[in-house]
Amino acid sequence: MIFESLWNNKYIDNVQITLSETVGVEERGAYYDNNGALRDMVQNHILQIVALLVMEPPLSLQGEDVRSEKIKALRSLRLYNTPEEVNRNFIRAQYAGNPAKALQAYREEPNVNPASSTETFVAGKILVDNFRWKGVPFYIRTGKQMASKETYIHIQFKHVSMNIFPTEGVDEIAEPNVLTIHVSPLEGFSLRLNAKRVGQGTEMKNIRMHHIYDEETQANSPEAYERLLLDCLNGDPTNFSHWDEVAQSWHFVDQIRKVWDAQEDCTDTLFAYESHSMGPKESDALLEQDGFSWTEFNWSQSYKEKQENE
């Protein structure tokens, strides 16, 4: 009930979804060059996450009820129909090579067209036109050859309207609260709060409370595909996409793809990013134009170091 009462545009500032991979296209060059990150990751993985975040509570957890709410959620996504709307709200990029690390550029990969305009990175802003989420931007990004292999969601809550705590001459300032849902490789959640430092004064300290399932629990849990196979055998459709879901997600993606495919000279809209980075600077600019920035914190590395120290 704590979060259900806050789960709306009155309290949430923005939502950030990241699906990053550290590998390039490897052996999949021929397939990937005909598809790209938009079709490969955004259409299914990311839009499924968006639907689960946006959907209203279903009548039950039965497959029919869950699917019904997910379809409604996907129907509420705002479509970008003009080149101006697409270029303002979505960016695409390819990874560049790094000879020092023996990393090839995308266009140098086997079975990839040397003049390819296929994107290996996508970042975008998704808007939801319904009563609960109107005005809350959902920022997404996904790409190959990025700095870390992680899937996580940051829900950033609105900051206090009047900050009475010091902001100058201090180590840390009071930051907006962020609820992080860890999907992979960590599974669990984290919550960023602010606390007063011990001692004199009113200097603040950012603290993170988290619950992460340990490696033993994860190792003894069924793999995702094992669960799906069992659901299939049991006739449980809850975790499978209904055709209407698939059609709605393709309808959203096709509008963007249509604009990109029509841009024969894409030198101004296809950017480059350094291998093992978190994407091009244009991805940062996408959020900066709204007064936001990507919430960057390597939870996986921090948690691993904490476990090792213990």
Structural domain count of the chain:
1
**Per the residue annotation, which of 45, 210, 242, 276 is the catalytic one?**
45
Structure tokens at 222: 């069924």
Classify 306 as helix, strand or coil.
Answer: helix
Write the CA distances from 114 to 93, 107, 109, 236, integer angstroms: 15, 5, 9, 45
Mean pLDDT, rounded, for 144-162: 92
Range in 24-28, 69-73, 106-110, 270-274 the model is least confident about: 24-28
Domain that holds residue 140: 4-309
> pTM of this prediction?
0.91
Q: Is 199 left (phi over 0), alpha (psi -120 to 50) or beta?
A: left
**Domain CATH number, residue 195:** 3.30.360.10
pLDDT digits (tens, 9 = 90+) for 72-97: 999 999 999 999 999 999 999 999 98
User: pLDDT by residue (tens digit) across 97-127?
Assistant: 887 777 889 999 999 999 999 999 999 999 9
The number of residues making up the chain comes to: 310
Angle in degrees, 0-180, between the axes of helices 243-262 and 47-54, rounded to the nearest 10: 130
**What pLDDT sits at residue 299?**
57
User: 211 an active-site residue?
Assistant: no
How far from the centroid of its chain's Cα atoms is residue 211's Cα?
A: 20
Q: Give pLDDT, residue 301.
A: 55
pLDDT at 145: 94
Q: Are 189 and 179 in contact (CB under 8 A)?
A: yes
* Residue keyed to tokens 């079709």: 39
Helices 63-75 and 47-54, axial angle in degrees (round to 10): 100
